């Protein structure tokens, strides 16, 4: 039974890796056999060569993009959690602010980005704001849903035992909301990379998004793919960090899931 479980877990990891390797191999063969021009579609080997030859350039621009992502995401995380707690704790905020938060998502960020350049100028600030605006919504909404998902019977029991509203909020609602909150965090950290690139596309002089827009007119397609690869690695790494933080803050949640999965065998 334990062997079957480990084999199933190993297969879960190996299958996507095998699919990815197969796609890369097919890409390489297609470019080589069809004699596709390098400026149109470089082979994976050419992209790998570009990663090596332009490593210092990619690294410098990646640090700028990463700084925009980290600062913007942390701002979104703090604002999202504070606002979600206020909405769940106060009906006045829920009725007045929550509809505005939802309606704000109807405004395209790509339309706001040029205005931010006018208001705050070039540099890191407009990119950080764009990252924060895009990451804020999934964190806030998921946390609100988690805070409202508390079992009312548990709330009544705690109040019967003399717990205050604040104690119910901190001892029951917040632990209940953690899985929802981390769902929003994982969504937010995944789209943060896209948000940073959007900000750099609108106006920037550094960053991986800027490097992509600079390289495209010069037909440096291998460099474009190399920058995209670095962005993908960055996004995956940030997602993995979010999963690690989730496991550290909610060990009971994963222990319960592991126990339930073992009962199925």
Torsion angle (degrees, nearest 10) of CA 167, 172, 176, 181: 10
Q: Output the pLDDT for position 258.
A: 59
Q: What is the mean pLDDT of residues 119-133?
A: 87
Q: What is the pLDDT of residues 57-105, one digit of tens each?
A: 999 999 999 999 999 999 999 999 999 988 887 888 888 888 888 888 8
Taken in order of first residue, the domains within the chain and their CATH numbers are 55-263 (1.10.3720.10)
Q: What is the pLDDT of residues 129-144, one digit of tens each?
A: 999 999 999 999 999 9
Res. 253 pLDDT band, cuts 50 70 90: low
Highest mean pLDDT among 66-70, 219-223, 243-247, 252-256: 66-70
Res. 256 pLDDT band, cuts 50 70 90: low
Q: What is the mean pLDDT of residues 237-244?
A: 93
């Amino acid at each position: 039974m334990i062997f079957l479980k480990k084999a199933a877990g190993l297969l879960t990891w190996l299958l996507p890796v095998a699919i990815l390797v197969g796609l890369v191999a097919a890409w390489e063969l297609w470019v080589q056999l069809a004699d596709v021009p390098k400026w149109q579609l470089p082979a994976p080997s050419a992209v790998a060569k570009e990663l090596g030859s332009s490593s210092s350039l990619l690294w410098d621009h990646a640090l700028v993009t990463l700084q925009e992502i980290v600062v913007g995401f942390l701002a979104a995380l703090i604002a999202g959690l504070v606002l979600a707690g206020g909405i769940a704790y106060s009906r006045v905020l829920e009725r007045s602010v929550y509809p505005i938060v939802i309606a704000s998502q109807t405004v395209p960020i790509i339309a706001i980005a040029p205005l931010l350049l006018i208001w705050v100028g070039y540099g890191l600030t407009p990119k950080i704001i764009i990252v924060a605006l895009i990451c804020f919504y999934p964190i806030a909404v998921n946390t609100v849903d988690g805070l409202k998902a508390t079992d009312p019977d548990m709330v009544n029991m705690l109040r019967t035992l003399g717990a205050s509203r604040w104690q119910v909020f901190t001892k029951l609602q917040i632990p209940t909301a953690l899985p929802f909150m981390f769902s929003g965090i994982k969504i937010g950290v995944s789209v943060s990379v896209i948000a940073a690139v959007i900000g750099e596309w609108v106006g920037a002089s550094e960053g991986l998004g800027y490097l992509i827009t600079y390289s495209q007119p010069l037909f440096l397609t291998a460099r474009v793919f190399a920058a995209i690869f670095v962005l993908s690695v960055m996004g995956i790494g940030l997602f993995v960090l979010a999963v690690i933080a989730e496991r550290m803050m909610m060990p009971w949640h994963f222990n319960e899931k592991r126990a339930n999965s073992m009962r199925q065998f």
